[in-house]
Amino acid sequence: MKARIHITLKNGVLDPQGKAIHHSLEGLGFDGVNDVRQGKFIEIELTDGDKVAAEAKVAEMCEQLLANTVIEDFSVEIDG
Amino acid sequence: MTAAVIVFPGSNCDRDVAVSLEAALGHAPIMAWHGDSTLPDVDLIVVPGGFSYGDYLRSGAMAANSPIMREVIARANGGTPVLGICNGFQVLTECGLLPGVLMRNASLKFVCRDVDLRVERADTVFTSQYTKDQVIRIPVAHHDGNYFTDPETHKALEDNGQVAFRYCAADGSITDDANPNGSLANIAGILNTAGNVLGMMPHPERLADPLLGGLDGAPMFSALAEAIAA
Amino acid sequence: MSATAQRPEDLMGLSDEEFDTILEIMGREPNFTELSIFSVMWSEHCSYKSSKFWLKTLPTDGPQVIQGPGENAGVIDIGDGLAAIFKIESHNHPSFIEPYQGAATGVGGIMRDVFTMGARPIANLNALRFGSPDHPKTRHLINGVVAGIGGYGNCIGVPTVGGEVNFDPGYNGNILVNAMTVGIANTDKIFYSAAAGLGLPVVYVGSKTGRDGIHGATMASAEFDDDSADKRPTVQVGDPFTEKLLLEACLELMATDAIVAIQDMGAAGLTSSSVEMASKGNVGITLNLDDVPQRETEMQPFELMLSESQERMLMVLKPGREDEARAIFEKWELDLSVIGTTNDSERLVLTSAGEVVADIPVPPLVAAAPEYERPWTATPPREVLGHDAVPAPFDLGVALLTMIESPDLCSRRWIWEQYDHMVMGDTVGRPGVDAALVRVHGTQKALAISTDCTPRYVEANPFEGGKQAVAEAWRNVTSVGATPLAVTNNLNFGNPERPEIMGQLVGAVQGMGEACLALDSPVVSGNVSLYNETNGAAILPTPVIGCVGLLEDVTQRMGAAFEADGDAIFVVGETTGWLGCSIYQRDMAGGSAGAPPPVDLNTERQNGDFVRASIAAHQINACHDVSDGGLAVALAEMAIAGNVGADIDYKPAIPVHAWAFGEDQARYVVTTADPASFEALAAAANVAVTRIGRVGGAALTLPGAEPISVESLREAHTRWLPEYMASR
């Protein structure tokens, strides 16, 4: 069973890396980009079991370690 | 009067701060390994600079979850002075002893240089040998030193007088040009509400020896030595 | 057996003759794994086949030398039971393909070379060469290389204290990234790579092995073409956190007496490390490849042997000490695996799944490695330019401002502020001027370190240029008051199969050898990087020297900043106004570059010894060597560093622009509060000194020019690099 976790900066938190990427994209001639936000993607292989319990467990991992909830939001998908 | 320096895998200013502590205390501090879940009785805990766990995931995040930090949190809550420098500051915010977070520098670049700091609080165990509004010169060396918190927390920090140091110009004025990393309100160091936990990005241990170009960091260590000897 | 009939299609860079030698050694056709091993061991990168003949001519001995070339790094005695261990190494090709990781792994690799020998690294330096600032790739390459050097060194916690940067269109398609590390060890705790002893466990420590950088060593031995970007997958990725753990774990294990031999897995990974250990120990080694910790699945024997995954070491332990070693490595959260044993076969035998997959006799693999005395042609001499051949500027002051703002002379602050240059708490001389100065922890001693090379001189006259690289590094170390002890060299050239390129290498090595001898600074370690060409265009010949010197009492250090108002300013050494190959000639005048300044090694020695003695005798207050840009630039740098001006009222007998910007060698600018005693000392030492003015005020006034405020000097000096890097 695989957990896919997206971690993104909360709305309103300045994202200097996203800003730099945005700037670079414009420099490369890609227009029509309104905003860029950079985040993290984490994959975790779990032993097979109850999907709901797994979801709760991964959310706890995010709260405790994977995300800093002062500035970051996270979302969890469980496959298989 | 003993001090402990917490050593994580990837800490690299542990020896530097131990040198400054030994000079001030007259004897070497205990070097406490991150995997230990107990800590001897000490009068001061220092969480040093470096790249604990390579700064992987987020600076300080994994160190904040190591066994010894549970003990550090307990001691801090019991009133033991705790000083976090650079990566140590990041660890203290990640483990919740201090509010806010240290984000990537606004320049996106690592910055290593001397900066001027304005002393905002001279009535703490850490800063009693400085005077309020004194301008001191201390080096910074970090990639993630951009202090950020939400407006309510920031207001509380200001209202409670929890800001210990701000980046300033040579004349003490708080300007954008003097801010090396984009920190909110030029915040360089903050205290907890009780005043016994200090986190700061600049490295006082790096200017505590005249051969290294200055002595402005030394009063912090002599103040701590004096406080815990009393 | 008909050798030619069985010749494989892909000889992996080996020549037909080399393949025939392999057939003789093996007595049969080598299998793919064996051929791969020969290919990397006999690559230019590992065998030095084009340069070895000439490298042997360099002086490598001296009473201060504990270990010269041939080990992971050179070792010199610095007294009181301490040794300095150092080396410089190139990571040019990987850095052009992927600048961040290329530079980062270059730094990681050179640090491993140093701590493998038992030293704690205390300083890193970098000699960098980029293409023209106008070239579309240059900015991206600078950004990546600087971030990579910082990313690795900052994380591991070793200060990056100095280096040099040049720009030239000659590096447009092939930048140079040369990284130097200096470490400190106890003289009775130095570790070598000879696996002497039979039945000893061969132990693998550090990161797991992946498919990183396979054939990196052969890539470093081939020219670039426009498809080089496709080679990206072979670039290794650095993990400074793991290296920090590996450093601490190795030093902890070295404090015991469990280690017989230790070798870093650098270029050509497990192959070169195991062959080296077996060869130096006159033993055989059998490795079971199934026991090599692996990060990827289904790795083939040749992949395991050639992988250049970073942060790995091979050790031979005393029997029965494996558990002690394992406990230390587990504490530092690192893998440790016993992968083989030593024996008396003198063969490298590899097994996998119970079968022998390679079996090569070690002595001929090493001894029969090719060595070529490649044909070479000397670089034709250039005419010596007279003062009139290089026109004077319209305005001397404007010319100075323009020059100190130029890419080659401007402040490197934008770069070194991205490096932690203070961690470890012993950086006494920060980056920016002359040699870096790093205290030996817990002592009064300090090491002065400088890297130098002036490629445009070497291009014009390889022999004089080779001498000059040594002389300038030696002079920089002297300027802070230290005694130069030894050097490491990094020879960066184009394709040695072209006689004119080979001629550059020969001339430069001969010049270096002569200078090292005259200046008592033997070569104790080094690296050669050839085939630095893109589409047939070679780089400027760039033989970089890294010099290490000792200052017994760090409190006696000398700075380059102007200090007290009223100090007299002297030039040590003769000023003839040599404008050939100068920065002024190149950037401000144009036309023929002419011959570079000659280096008189006797004068160099005499002037340097005099300056060092004057510093020790407390006769001078500031000292700076004169190099690129000449006297005027040296004076400007001293004024900026001290934030105080100077009035230069000397009336030169030669045209003033030649006096101000000429690049005569063996010169220093010094200041003194007691000019009479200083002149007397100089006369006694038979050294030419010229009093040219005095320190003071807020402006630098040169002969025949309007005063220039120190503030405008500083602005000009610091403007270009940050603005250039911020633009797009």
Which chain B residues are closer than 8 Å to C419 by Cβ?
A: 110, 112
How far is the alpha carbon of B106 from chain A, nearest alpha carbon, in Å?
A: 6
Chain A and chain B share a number of CB contacts under 8 A equal to: 34
Q: What local confidence, expressed as pLDDT, does residue C226 receive?
A: 53
Range with the poorest average pLDDT among B14-18, B67-71, C5-9: C5-9
Radius of gyration in angstroms for the set of CA atoms belonging to chain A, rounded to a whole number: 16
Q: What angle do CA C53, C54, C56 make, to 5 degrees?
A: 75
Q: How far apart are CA C271 and CA C723, in angstroms?
A: 46
Q: Please report, rounded to a whole number, the percentage of residues in chain B having pLDDT higher than 90.
A: 93
Dihedral sign for Cα C335, C340, C346, C349, please.
negative
List of E strands, C614-713? 622-625, 646-648, 668-672, 689-695, 699-701, 708-709
For the stretch B171-202, pLDDT in tens is 999 999 999 999 999 999 999 999 999 999 99
Beta bridge partners of C261: C316
Q: What is the pLDDT of residue C224?
A: 58
CATH code at position A34: 3.30.1280.10
With 0-12 / 13-18 / 19 or more C-beta atoms within 10 angstroms meaning exposed / middle / buried, residue C209 is buried
**Above 0.90 for ipTM, yes or no?**
yes
Tokens of B88: 């140590």
Domain total in chain A: 1
Considering the entire predicted model, what is its pTM? Answer: 0.94
Q: Which residues of C touch B10 (CB under 8 A)?
A: 155, 241, 244-245
Range of the domain at A41: 2-79
Arithmetic mean of pLDDT, B10-14: 96
Under 8 Å between Cβ of C457 and C17: no
Q: How far is A43 from chain B (nearest CA, A)?
A: 13
Q: What are phi and psi of C648, to 5 degrees?
A: -100, 100
pLDDT computed for residue A23 by the predictor: 77
The whole-angstrom separation of Cα C484 and Cα C474 is 6
The three-state secondary structure class of C355 is: strand
Cα–Cα distance for residue pair C485/B219, rounded to 1 Å: 39
Q: What is the CA radius of gyration of chain B?
A: 16
The residue in chain C having the minimum alpha-carbon distance to the alpha carbon of residue B112 is: C417
**pLDDT, mean of each 10-residue run, chain C (728 residues):** 57 89 95 93 89 96 96 96 98 91 95 97 98 95 97 97 96 97 97 94 93 65 54 68 95 96 90 94 96 90 91 95 95 92 96 96 92 95 93 96 97 97 95 92 97 98 98 98 98 96 98 98 96 92 98 96 94 97 95 94 98 97 97 98 96 96 98 97 97 97 96 98 92
According to CATH, the topology of domain B3-229 is Rossmann fold (3.40.50)
Count of other CB atoms within 10 angstroms of residue C126: 29
SS3 assignment, position C328? helix
Q: Does B29 touch chain C (CB under 8 A)?
A: no
Residue of A61, A59, A16, A66 whose CA lies nearest to A41: A66
Does residue B112 carry a catalytic annotation? no
Please tell me the predicted confidence (pLDDT) of residue C5.
Answer: 42
B-contacting chains (≥3 CB pairs under 8 Å): A, C
Instruction: In whole angstroms, give the CA distance from residue A11 to residue C673.
Output: 63
Please list the rounded mean pLDDT of every run of 10 residues in chain A (80 residues): 92 77 80 90 92 94 89 89
What are the b/e assignments for C290-320, b being 16+ CB within 10 Å? Answer: eebbbeeeebbbbbbbbbbbbbbbbbbbbee
Closest by CA position to C88, among listed C104, C107, C75, C102: C107
Asked if residue B167 has pLDDT above 90, the reply is yes
Closest CA to C209 of C300, C333, C295, C298: C295
Residue owning tokens 């025949």? C704
The confidence score (pLDDT) of residue C12 equals 83
Instruction: Single out the residue of A10, A13, A15 nearest to residue A36, CA to CA.
Output: A15
Report the DSSP pairing between strands B44-47 and C201-206.
Answer: unpaired
Q: How far is CA C445 from CA B183, C184, C549, C555, in A?
A: 39, 12, 11, 9
User: Cβ of B10 under 8 Å from any chain C Cβ?
Assistant: yes
Instruction: Please give the Cα distance from C690 to C667 (Å, whole number).
Output: 11
Q: Contact at 8 Å (CB) between C131 and C138? A: yes
Q: What is the DSSP letter of C317?
A: E
- Is the Cβ–Cβ distance between C696 and C645 less than 8 Å? yes
Which residue, among C214, C207, C210, C208, has the nearest Cα to C234 in the 3D structure? Answer: C214
Give the H or E element holding residue C17.
Answer: helix C16-26
Q: Retrieve residue C349's tokens.
A: 């035998």
- Can B86 be counted among the known catalytic residues? yes
Contact state of B100 with A70 under an 8 Å Cβ cutoff: yes
Nearest to C312 by CA among C258, C251, C247, C257: C247
DSSP state of C226: G
pLDDT of residue C4: 47
